[in-house]
Amino acid sequence: MSSLINQASIITYTKVDLIFENLVYNQEFKTIICIICKYSLGLAPNITRHLKENHYIKEEFILVKTKLNLILNNLDLLNNNNLYIPFNNKYYFKNFINY
């Protein structure tokens, strides 16, 4: 039991912020995560393509694309190729479950 408490006390969290419907931004890793797919999306073109192909019908996407691009242009994003993978490939995103 005490080993579980010790492990829980060393968990490091990183905060995510809801920036758009079903998208959260993690400032530490400078990435957008789709909370439906739980997938890091990389740069703005990848994000818009992901939403268009997986979560919106064409007519809906046309309406939200401009607003989405305004939001994405104000964020510092890394290409997924430059994304740091945490130790043991595990990381806990604070507030992620809340969305």
| Structural domain count of the chain | 1
Full-model pTM: 0.69
Query: What's the rounded Cα separation, in Å, for the pair 25 and 33?
Result: 6
Question: pLDDT tens, 18-75?
Answer: 999 889 998 888 888 888 888 888 888 889 999 999 999 888 898 889 999 999 999 9
Please work out, in degrees rounded to the nearest 5, the angle formed at the alpha carbon of residue 65 by the alpha carbons of 37 and 55: 25
Helices (H), the chain: 2-9, 44-54, 58-73
Tell me the residue range of the domain where 40 lies.
Answer: 2-98
Question: pLDDT tens, 73-93?
Answer: 999 888 765 455 455 455 666
Structure tokens at 94: 């604070």
How far CA 3 is from CA of 39, 62, 65, 92, in Å, comes to 31, 52, 48, 19
